[in-house]
Amino acid sequence: NAGVMQNPRHLVRRRGQEARLRCSPMKGHSHVYWYRQLPEEGLKFMVYLQKENIIDESGMPKERFSAEFPKEGPSILRIQQVVRGDSAAYFCASSPWTSGGASSYEQYFGPGTRLTVT
């Protein structure tokens, strides 16, 4: 059973370009979370999605950032018009359904995408 997959692992963008980060959850997992990690810091929650639904995006910047988790295919975190301050590691995590329909507490992380904005 493959773990959480993220690609690309490294992404370099010039200021003003768009960055698209992809996340494929573990098989059987329906819940996806995105986190951002700045150097020497902990992870900061950005957004929580289920298939075709954004459940909580309270950690997402209001502008330039968007996320989706379509019925088919990976979850996408999209950053438009990137700036140098967007340089960070972006991690995706997934968790399974519980019998009550809520997300299981255990979250399993992917290897991350390291975004560098030049």
Partner 1 sequence: GENVEQHPSTLSVQEGDSAVIKCTYSDSASNYFPWYKQELGKGPQLIIDIRSNVGEKKDQRIAVTLNKTAKHFSLHITETQPEDSAVYFCADITGGFKTIFGAGTRLFVKA
Residues that bind partner 1 (CB under 8 A): 4, 6, 31, 33, 35, 40-45, 48, 55-56, 58, 91, 95, 102-103, 105-112
Closest separation in Å from C-beta 21 to partner 1:
13
Query: Are the C-beta atoms of 11 and 116 separated by less than 8 Å?
Result: yes
Rounded to whole angstroms, what are the CA distances from 18 to 11, 39, 79, 86?
A: 11, 22, 6, 11
Structure tokens that stand for 104 in this block: 């299981």
* Minimum separation from the CB atom of position 84 to partner 1 (A): 21
Q: Which is nearer to partner 1, 93 or 117 (CB)?
A: 93
